[in-house]
Amino acid sequence: MSKVLAILVGALCFSGIANANNNYIPILYNLSTILDFNPVKGPIKSLDEHVVANGKEIQEIKLNFDNGFCVENLTINRPTEGYSLELKLKGSVLEGKKNGKPFSIELSKDCNLHTVNDNGDKMEYTLNSNGMIKDTFFLGSKVSEHFYDKESNFVRSVFLFEDKVLSKNEVTYADSHERPLDYKITNSSGSSDGFIATNSCEYSEQLVPKLCQLTVQKTNSPPSKPTEMTVSTKVEFY
């Protein structure tokens, strides 16, 4: 799911190939969780997503996959932030630059997420039995936990610091089968205002979220003006 704002931060164990026709490619789903874009089910060849807010494009992301459904390259640009990320697969590592500095994503043998190295800062990931992110570790300490329902829909995340909960997200879906990216995220934090994010999409016959309306409302008092974004996604399948 797309969590474009920084505050919205947040496989099968035998292989994505066997289940790509009906499920998310595990590496695609996990990258969408950590890099903020809409995942799409099926045998994807390429994905191109654009996010617009207040008439300005705030994010563009492009991914390409080989015929074994492993990501070959990934590009993200956020022009309003001066953010850029460009990675290419070399062996089992997606490597390149983020804002001009070294950045790499190490993949497992079955092309799933293992570690992220951001200019020397290394995040390590453990996966659940379906190949989705379970826990995230930084310098040996757990910094997040992710939870899913029986159908592997992401439903909850908890962010930690020194074993204490900093914030958490609860996710509900209008119809996870027919409208998999129509969701509501409720964020709560002990040290700052939380937020509520709602997403509603138009879908193709293959359930590609062609056009989504994402609204983020902070839960401060008095309430501030919500942030509204339009997310368009184009996908090419094998």
Contact 96, 104 (CB under 8 A): yes
Look at residue 223 in the predicted model and tell me its pLDDT: 81
- Identify the band that residue 1 occupies on the pLDDT scale cut at 50, 70 and 90: very low
Mean per-residue pLDDT for 50-72?
A: 96
Residue 108: HSE in the Cβ half-sphere, 13 Å Cα cutoff: 20
| Kind of pairing between the strands at 93-98 and 101-107 | antiparallel
User: How far is 179 from 209, CA to CA, in rounded Å?
Assistant: 9
Within 10 Å of residue 94's Cβ, how many Cβ atoms? 24
Tell me what pLDDT residue 21 has.
54
Residue 28 burial by Cβ neighbours in a 10 Å radius (0-12, 13-18, 19+): buried
Q: Quick one: pLDDT band at residue 213, thresholds 50, 70, 90? A: very high
End-to-end Cα spacing for the chain? 22
pTM to 2 decimal places: 0.88
Strands 179-189, 227-237: pairing kind: unpaired
Q: Which sequence spans correspond to the domains of the chain? A: 6-168
Cα–Cα distance, 40 to 54 (Å, whole number)? 25
Burial (Cβ within 10 Å: 0-12, 13-18, ≥19) of residue 69? buried
Q: What is the pLDDT of residues 118-174, one digit of tens each?
A: 999 999 999 999 999 999 999 999 999 999 999 889 999 999 999 899 999 999 999
- Token duo for residue 57: 């494009």
